[in-house]
Amino acid sequence: MFCQFYVQGQVWTMEKEIHVISNGIQKTDQFVKIASEIHPYVTAIHIREKKATAKEVYTIIKAMIAEGIPSGKVVVNDRADVASVVHAQGVQLTYLSLDVQLVKTSFPELRIGKSVHSVQEAIEAEEQGADYLLYGHIFSTSSKPGLTPRGLGSLKQVVKEVKIPVIAIGGIVPKNAKEVLSTGAAGIAVMSLIWEAHSPLEAIKELYSIVNEKRVSNDNQL
């Protein structure tokens, strides 16, 4: 199965998607270094820096671009204005963000993702014009302590009820990635798997190999 979408007037085609979400902990130079290593193996790197100002987010992205990371692989959480200025792939909206329809009207060049947590939210986001959904959390995860995971059954139901791509998030690791994708999900999103790894590069290579069923050698990039 291939996923196809438009970014800044260009067509992007790939197999299952892999999104990496920032956790707001790394210093900019450390984050950019890791991002520059892993970007060949991912669909998107999400800048999810809740405490950062628009100017700080812009500075992070410009540093990424300076290190050779294509702006078309950057997704900015919430700030559609920043995403547009840096020619990012898109913007990830939450329940606190502006409505999808408003953002789509003002920033038609952006690929718009919406974070959802139920079938009803997924249907509503699709009706508003979201290009894809981020759904979770699927499994228990350290980023959601004490919260009951939604599980594979609910993910499968969301996938069934909408036509746009659904990206699964929450507690996904190489050993359960195939299970997740067997629901029909268009891809997966990870956070701690990368940022808490001893070697983020090896972690993303292992995940990529499983998700796209391709062997990645230790000394070759894509």
Averaged confidence pLDDT in the chain: 92
Per-residue pLDDT at 1: 41
The confidence score (pLDDT) of residue 222 equals 57
Burial class (CB in 10 A: 0-12, 13-18, 19+), 207: buried
Q: Which amino acid is at 167?
A: I
Please give the pLDDT value at position 147: 78
CA-atom Rg of the chain in angstroms: 16
Count the neighbouring beta carbons within 10 Å of the beta carbon of residue 17. Answer: 21
120-124 long-range Cβ contacts below 8 angstroms, 24+ apart: 121/95, 122/158, 122/161, 122/162, 122/166, 123/161, 123/162
Mean pLDDT, each 10-residue run in order, the chain (222 residues): 52 77 95 97 97 97 98 98 98 97 98 98 98 96 77 98 98 97 97 96 96 68 56
* Residues known to be catalytic: 137
pLDDT at residue number 145: 72
Would you state the pLDDT for residue 212? Answer: 86
- Given this model, what pLDDT does residue 140 score? 83
**According to the model, what pLDDT value does residue 6 have?**
52
pTM (predicted TM-score): 0.90
Q: Are 115 and 134 in contact (CB under 8 A)?
A: yes
pLDDT of residue 12: 52
**In this predicted model, what pLDDT tens digit does every residue of 99-144 receive, in sequence order?**
999 999 999 999 999 999 999 999 999 999 999 999 999 998 777 6
Domain 3-211: homologous superfamily in CATH: Aldolase class I (3.20.20.70)
Domain range annotation of the chain: 3-211
Give whole-number Cα distances, 199 to 80, 180, 205, 218, in Å: 32, 23, 10, 12
